[in-house]
Copies of this chain bind each other. A is one copy, B any other.
Amino acid sequence: MKKLINAPEDVLVESLTGVALAHPELSVDLETHVITRATPKAEGKVAIVSGGGSGHEPLHGGFVGPGMLDAAVAGEVFTSPTPDRVQAATQAVDRGAGVLHIVKNYTGDVLNFEMAAELAAMDGIEVQSIIVNDDVAVQDSLYTAGRRGVGLTVLLEKIVGAAAEEGQTLSDVADLAARVNAQGRSMGMALTSCTVPAAGKPTFDLPDDQMEIGIGIHGEPGRHREALAPAKEIARQLLEPILADIDVTGSPAIVMLNGMGATPLIELYLMYGEVAEQLKEAGVTIERNLVGNYITSLDMAGCSLTVLKADDEMLRLWDAPVQTPGLRWGV
Protein backbone atom coordinates (compact mmCIF):
# COMPACT_ATOMS: atom_id res chain seq x y z
CA MET A 1 0.00 0.00 0.00
CA LYS A 2 1.47 3.32 -1.10
CA LYS A 3 -0.10 6.20 0.75
CA LEU A 4 0.90 9.50 2.32
CA ILE A 5 -0.12 8.46 5.83
CA ASN A 6 1.37 7.55 9.17
CA ALA A 7 -0.49 4.69 10.88
CA PRO A 8 -3.69 3.50 9.12
CA GLU A 9 -5.72 3.94 12.29
CA ASP A 10 -4.78 7.63 12.49
CA VAL A 11 -5.67 8.63 8.92
CA LEU A 12 -9.01 10.26 9.67
CA VAL A 13 -7.96 12.33 12.69
CA GLU A 14 -4.69 13.40 11.09
CA SER A 15 -6.42 14.40 7.88
CA LEU A 16 -9.00 16.37 9.87
CA THR A 17 -6.10 18.04 11.68
CA GLY A 18 -4.84 19.23 8.30
CA VAL A 19 -8.30 20.47 7.37
CA ALA A 20 -8.47 22.44 10.62
CA LEU A 21 -5.06 24.01 10.03
CA ALA A 22 -5.79 24.83 6.38
CA HIS A 23 -9.27 26.25 6.94
CA PRO A 24 -9.67 28.60 9.91
CA GLU A 25 -13.14 29.41 8.56
CA LEU A 26 -14.17 25.90 9.65
CA SER A 27 -14.40 24.47 13.13
CA VAL A 28 -13.19 20.87 13.31
CA ASP A 29 -13.90 18.76 16.37
CA LEU A 30 -11.14 16.15 16.53
CA GLU A 31 -13.08 14.13 19.13
CA THR A 32 -16.43 13.79 17.37
CA HIS A 33 -15.14 14.35 13.80
CA VAL A 34 -17.79 16.97 13.21
CA ILE A 35 -16.94 19.91 10.93
CA THR A 36 -18.99 23.08 11.31
CA ARG A 37 -18.73 26.68 10.16
CA ALA A 38 -16.60 28.78 12.52
CA THR A 39 -19.27 31.47 12.16
CA PRO A 40 -22.75 29.93 12.39
CA LYS A 41 -25.55 31.16 10.15
CA ALA A 42 -28.19 33.55 11.46
CA GLU A 43 -30.88 32.46 13.93
CA GLY A 44 -34.15 31.41 12.33
CA LYS A 45 -32.63 29.74 9.29
CA VAL A 46 -32.79 26.04 8.46
CA ALA A 47 -29.51 24.19 9.00
CA ILE A 48 -28.18 21.45 6.73
CA VAL A 49 -26.25 18.45 8.05
CA SER A 50 -24.68 15.70 5.99
CA GLY A 51 -22.06 13.07 6.58
CA GLY A 52 -21.07 9.49 6.10
CA GLY A 53 -17.92 7.46 5.80
CA SER A 54 -14.69 9.29 4.97
CA GLY A 55 -12.65 8.67 1.84
CA HIS A 56 -14.92 10.69 -0.47
CA GLU A 57 -13.24 14.07 0.00
CA PRO A 58 -14.01 16.89 -0.59
CA LEU A 59 -17.47 15.42 0.24
CA HIS A 60 -18.74 16.14 2.91
CA GLY A 61 -16.41 18.28 5.06
CA GLY A 62 -15.20 20.28 2.08
CA PHE A 63 -18.74 21.46 1.45
CA VAL A 64 -19.26 23.11 4.83
CA GLY A 65 -19.62 26.86 4.59
CA PRO A 66 -21.97 29.71 3.63
CA GLY A 67 -24.36 28.60 0.90
CA MET A 68 -23.93 24.90 1.47
CA LEU A 69 -23.66 22.70 4.60
CA ASP A 70 -23.75 23.80 8.23
CA ALA A 71 -22.12 20.61 9.46
CA ALA A 72 -20.55 17.42 8.16
CA VAL A 73 -20.05 14.32 10.27
CA ALA A 74 -17.05 12.29 9.17
CA GLY A 75 -17.14 8.56 9.90
CA GLU A 76 -14.03 6.42 9.65
CA VAL A 77 -13.07 5.52 6.08
CA PHE A 78 -16.11 3.98 4.34
CA THR A 79 -17.84 3.62 7.74
CA SER A 80 -21.01 5.39 8.89
CA PRO A 81 -20.69 7.91 11.71
CA THR A 82 -22.48 6.90 14.90
CA PRO A 83 -25.92 8.35 15.78
CA ASP A 84 -24.65 10.30 18.79
CA ARG A 85 -22.23 12.22 16.61
CA VAL A 86 -24.86 13.03 14.01
CA GLN A 87 -27.07 14.17 16.87
CA ALA A 88 -24.25 16.32 18.28
CA ALA A 89 -23.80 17.97 14.86
CA THR A 90 -27.55 18.50 14.57
CA GLN A 91 -27.71 20.15 17.98
CA ALA A 92 -24.67 22.28 17.28
CA VAL A 93 -26.06 23.88 14.13
CA ASP A 94 -29.81 24.12 14.82
CA ARG A 95 -30.80 27.79 14.68
CA GLY A 96 -34.37 27.25 15.76
CA ALA A 97 -35.81 26.58 12.30
CA GLY A 98 -35.09 22.87 12.07
CA VAL A 99 -32.44 20.77 10.40
CA LEU A 100 -32.32 18.85 7.13
CA HIS A 101 -30.27 15.65 7.11
CA ILE A 102 -28.81 14.77 3.71
CA VAL A 103 -28.10 11.04 3.72
CA LYS A 104 -26.61 8.92 0.97
CA ASN A 105 -28.52 5.68 0.64
CA TYR A 106 -26.31 3.19 2.43
CA THR A 107 -27.83 0.98 5.09
CA GLY A 108 -25.54 2.15 7.90
CA ASP A 109 -25.94 5.83 7.11
CA VAL A 110 -29.72 5.55 6.83
CA LEU A 111 -30.06 3.76 10.17
CA ASN A 112 -27.68 6.03 12.04
CA PHE A 113 -29.11 9.28 10.71
CA GLU A 114 -32.62 7.99 11.48
CA MET A 115 -31.65 7.27 15.05
CA ALA A 116 -29.95 10.67 15.30
CA ALA A 117 -33.12 12.35 14.05
CA GLU A 118 -35.11 10.60 16.79
CA LEU A 119 -32.60 11.68 19.41
CA ALA A 120 -32.74 15.25 18.11
CA ALA A 121 -36.56 15.18 18.23
CA MET A 122 -36.30 14.35 21.93
CA ASP A 123 -34.28 17.54 22.29
CA GLY A 124 -37.07 19.44 20.56
CA ILE A 125 -35.27 19.88 17.23
CA GLU A 126 -37.34 19.32 14.13
CA VAL A 127 -35.44 17.17 11.63
CA GLN A 128 -36.38 16.18 8.12
CA SER A 129 -34.29 13.87 5.97
CA ILE A 130 -33.60 13.26 2.33
CA ILE A 131 -32.19 9.89 1.32
CA VAL A 132 -30.22 10.42 -1.90
CA ASN A 133 -30.47 7.42 -4.24
CA ASP A 134 -29.33 8.49 -7.68
CA ASP A 135 -27.11 5.63 -8.83
CA VAL A 136 -28.71 3.87 -11.80
CA ALA A 137 -26.02 1.18 -11.90
CA VAL A 138 -27.64 -1.39 -9.65
CA GLN A 139 -30.79 -1.83 -7.64
CA ASP A 140 -29.86 -3.43 -4.34
CA SER A 141 -26.14 -3.55 -3.66
CA LEU A 142 -23.65 -4.84 -1.16
CA TYR A 143 -24.38 -1.96 1.19
CA THR A 144 -27.86 -0.83 0.23
CA ALA A 145 -31.47 -1.71 -0.14
CA GLY A 146 -32.41 0.16 -3.28
CA ARG A 147 -30.20 2.47 -5.26
CA ARG A 148 -26.98 3.88 -3.88
CA GLY A 149 -26.51 7.56 -3.18
CA VAL A 150 -23.58 8.98 -5.10
CA GLY A 151 -22.72 12.07 -7.18
CA LEU A 152 -26.08 13.79 -7.02
CA THR A 153 -25.36 14.39 -3.33
CA VAL A 154 -22.91 17.15 -4.32
CA LEU A 155 -25.44 18.97 -6.49
CA LEU A 156 -28.19 18.51 -3.93
CA GLU A 157 -26.07 19.88 -1.08
CA LYS A 158 -25.29 22.97 -3.17
CA ILE A 159 -28.87 23.68 -4.22
CA VAL A 160 -30.53 22.89 -0.92
CA GLY A 161 -27.81 24.76 0.98
CA ALA A 162 -28.61 27.88 -1.03
CA ALA A 163 -32.31 27.52 -0.28
CA ALA A 164 -31.64 27.29 3.45
CA GLU A 165 -29.28 30.26 3.26
CA GLU A 166 -31.95 32.47 1.71
CA GLY A 167 -34.38 31.62 4.49
CA GLN A 168 -36.70 28.97 3.05
CA THR A 169 -38.64 26.93 5.62
CA LEU A 170 -37.69 23.37 6.56
CA SER A 171 -40.70 22.03 4.73
CA ASP A 172 -39.79 23.95 1.55
CA VAL A 173 -36.14 22.92 1.78
CA ALA A 174 -37.12 19.26 2.25
CA ASP A 175 -39.52 19.44 -0.71
CA LEU A 176 -36.78 20.93 -2.86
CA ALA A 177 -34.39 18.17 -1.79
CA ALA A 178 -36.95 15.54 -2.79
CA ARG A 179 -37.40 17.22 -6.18
CA VAL A 180 -33.66 17.34 -6.83
CA ASN A 181 -33.32 13.70 -5.83
CA ALA A 182 -36.19 12.70 -8.12
CA GLN A 183 -34.66 14.50 -11.08
CA GLY A 184 -31.02 13.45 -10.83
CA ARG A 185 -29.22 10.26 -11.86
CA SER A 186 -25.62 9.06 -11.75
CA MET A 187 -23.47 6.25 -13.10
CA GLY A 188 -19.80 5.51 -12.38
CA MET A 189 -16.93 3.39 -13.61
CA ALA A 190 -13.49 2.38 -12.39
CA LEU A 191 -10.15 1.74 -14.03
CA THR A 192 -8.59 0.59 -10.76
CA SER A 193 -9.65 -0.40 -7.29
CA CYS A 194 -9.19 1.77 -4.24
CA THR A 195 -7.22 0.67 -1.19
CA VAL A 196 -8.72 1.17 2.27
CA PRO A 197 -5.86 2.12 4.63
CA ALA A 198 -6.92 -0.32 7.34
CA ALA A 199 -7.13 -3.17 4.80
CA GLY A 200 -3.75 -2.39 3.25
CA LYS A 201 -4.58 -3.96 -0.09
CA PRO A 202 -6.90 -3.18 -3.02
CA THR A 203 -10.59 -3.82 -2.35
CA PHE A 204 -10.88 -5.81 -5.56
CA ASP A 205 -8.68 -7.04 -8.37
CA LEU A 206 -9.18 -5.52 -11.77
CA PRO A 207 -6.90 -6.87 -14.50
CA ASP A 208 -4.75 -4.41 -16.44
CA ASP A 209 -6.92 -4.71 -19.54
CA GLN A 210 -10.32 -4.41 -17.89
CA MET A 211 -12.60 -1.80 -16.36
CA GLU A 212 -15.65 -2.03 -14.11
CA ILE A 213 -18.84 -0.33 -15.27
CA GLY A 214 -21.38 0.78 -12.67
CA ILE A 215 -19.01 0.89 -9.72
CA GLY A 216 -20.06 2.41 -6.41
CA ILE A 217 -18.04 4.89 -4.38
CA HIS A 218 -16.65 2.22 -2.05
CA GLY A 219 -15.43 -0.18 -4.67
CA GLU A 220 -18.69 -2.13 -4.54
CA PRO A 221 -19.21 -4.29 -7.60
CA GLY A 222 -20.82 -2.59 -10.55
CA ARG A 223 -22.87 -3.94 -13.42
CA HIS A 224 -20.16 -5.80 -15.23
CA ARG A 225 -16.52 -5.91 -16.21
CA GLU A 226 -15.30 -5.62 -19.72
CA ALA A 227 -12.25 -4.82 -21.78
CA LEU A 228 -10.90 -1.29 -21.51
CA ALA A 229 -12.64 0.92 -24.06
CA PRO A 230 -12.05 4.36 -25.56
CA ALA A 231 -13.40 7.38 -23.67
CA LYS A 232 -16.17 7.85 -26.21
CA GLU A 233 -17.50 4.36 -25.52
CA ILE A 234 -17.17 4.77 -21.76
CA ALA A 235 -19.15 8.02 -21.98
CA ARG A 236 -21.87 6.17 -23.88
CA GLN A 237 -21.99 3.44 -21.24
CA LEU A 238 -22.38 5.99 -18.46
CA LEU A 239 -24.93 8.13 -20.24
CA GLU A 240 -27.21 5.47 -21.74
CA PRO A 241 -28.53 4.02 -18.48
CA ILE A 242 -29.08 7.52 -17.13
CA LEU A 243 -31.11 8.65 -20.13
CA ALA A 244 -32.98 5.33 -20.14
CA ASP A 245 -34.08 6.06 -16.60
CA ILE A 246 -35.06 9.72 -16.84
CA ASP A 247 -36.24 11.79 -19.79
CA VAL A 248 -34.08 14.91 -19.96
CA THR A 249 -34.68 15.67 -23.64
CA GLY A 250 -35.43 19.33 -24.22
CA SER A 251 -34.64 20.17 -20.60
CA PRO A 252 -31.87 22.25 -19.12
CA ALA A 253 -29.45 20.16 -17.09
CA ILE A 254 -26.71 20.50 -14.50
CA VAL A 255 -24.00 17.96 -15.30
CA MET A 256 -21.10 16.80 -13.16
CA LEU A 257 -18.20 14.77 -14.53
CA ASN A 258 -16.53 13.62 -11.35
CA GLY A 259 -13.16 12.00 -10.73
CA MET A 260 -12.87 9.07 -8.32
CA GLY A 261 -9.73 10.44 -6.66
CA ALA A 262 -6.79 9.28 -8.77
CA THR A 263 -7.90 10.49 -12.19
CA PRO A 264 -6.04 13.52 -13.52
CA LEU A 265 -7.91 16.58 -14.76
CA ILE A 266 -6.65 16.16 -18.34
CA GLU A 267 -8.65 12.92 -18.54
CA LEU A 268 -11.70 14.32 -16.77
CA TYR A 269 -11.97 17.20 -19.24
CA LEU A 270 -11.56 14.79 -22.14
CA MET A 271 -14.40 12.67 -20.74
CA TYR A 272 -16.53 15.78 -20.20
CA GLY A 273 -16.07 16.67 -23.86
CA GLU A 274 -17.39 13.24 -24.87
CA VAL A 275 -20.31 13.41 -22.48
CA ALA A 276 -21.25 16.95 -23.50
CA GLU A 277 -21.26 16.01 -27.16
CA GLN A 278 -23.43 12.96 -26.59
CA LEU A 279 -25.84 14.90 -24.39
CA LYS A 280 -26.20 17.50 -27.10
CA GLU A 281 -27.04 14.77 -29.60
CA ALA A 282 -29.66 13.54 -27.14
CA GLY A 283 -31.27 16.99 -27.10
CA VAL A 284 -30.17 17.93 -23.60
CA THR A 285 -28.96 21.47 -22.89
CA ILE A 286 -26.18 21.62 -20.31
CA GLU A 287 -26.80 24.87 -18.45
CA ARG A 288 -24.19 24.39 -15.72
CA ASN A 289 -21.36 21.94 -15.21
CA LEU A 290 -18.73 20.74 -12.76
CA VAL A 291 -15.60 18.89 -13.85
CA GLY A 292 -13.24 17.66 -11.14
CA ASN A 293 -12.88 15.51 -8.05
CA TYR A 294 -15.93 16.16 -5.87
CA ILE A 295 -17.07 12.78 -4.52
CA THR A 296 -14.18 10.36 -4.57
CA SER A 297 -13.36 6.85 -3.59
CA LEU A 298 -9.92 7.21 -1.98
CA ASP A 299 -7.31 6.45 -4.65
CA MET A 300 -9.61 4.84 -7.19
CA ALA A 301 -9.03 5.79 -10.84
CA GLY A 302 -12.22 6.29 -12.80
CA CYS A 303 -15.09 8.71 -13.06
CA SER A 304 -18.78 9.17 -12.59
CA LEU A 305 -21.40 11.14 -14.44
CA THR A 306 -24.32 12.91 -12.81
CA VAL A 307 -27.17 14.51 -14.76
CA LEU A 308 -29.74 16.68 -13.00
CA LYS A 309 -32.82 17.77 -14.93
CA ALA A 310 -32.97 21.28 -13.60
CA ASP A 311 -35.82 23.77 -13.27
CA ASP A 312 -35.45 27.54 -12.96
CA GLU A 313 -35.36 27.51 -9.19
CA MET A 314 -32.59 24.90 -9.14
CA LEU A 315 -30.53 26.94 -11.60
CA ARG A 316 -31.04 30.10 -9.58
CA LEU A 317 -30.00 28.36 -6.36
CA TRP A 318 -27.04 26.75 -8.15
CA ASP A 319 -25.79 30.21 -9.07
CA ALA A 320 -26.18 31.58 -5.54
CA PRO A 321 -22.93 32.35 -3.69
CA VAL A 322 -21.11 29.45 -2.08
CA GLN A 323 -17.98 29.64 0.01
CA THR A 324 -16.55 26.26 0.96
CA PRO A 325 -13.16 24.60 0.46
CA GLY A 326 -14.61 22.40 -2.30
CA LEU A 327 -16.98 24.75 -4.12
CA ARG A 328 -16.66 28.50 -4.23
CA TRP A 329 -18.23 31.20 -6.33
CA GLY A 330 -20.09 34.48 -6.08
CA VAL A 331 -18.16 35.63 -3.01
How many angstroms from the CA of A9 to the CA of B96 in the assembled complex?
58
Inter-chain contacts of A57 with B (CB < 8 A): 264-266, 269
How many angstroms from the CA of A272 to the CA of B18 in the assembled complex?
5
Q: How far is the CB of A57 from chain B (nearest CB, A)?
A: 4
Contact B4 A303 (CB under 8 A): yes
Q: How far is the CB of A255 from chain B (nearest CB, A)?
A: 9
- Which of the candidate stretches A87-95, A135-143, A149-157, A292-300 sits at the interface with the other chain? A292-300
How many angstroms from the CA of A286 to the CA of B274 in the assembled complex?
41
Interface size on A, residues (CB 8 A): 61
Contact A262 B62 (CB under 8 A): no
Q: Which residue of B lies closest to A302 (CB)?
A: B4
Q: Mark each residue of chain A from 248 to 274: 1 if its CB lies under 8 Å from any CB of chain B, else 0.
A: 000000000000011111111111111
Inter-chain contacts of A191 with B (CB < 8 A): 2-4
A228 near B: Cβ within 8 Å? yes
A11 near B: Cβ within 8 Å? yes
How many angstroms from the CA of A277 to the CA of B303 in the assembled complex?
34
Q: How far is the CB of A194 from chain B (nearest CB, A)?
A: 9
Q: How far is the CB of A272 from chain B (nearest CB, A)?
A: 4
Contact A18 B296 (CB under 8 A): no
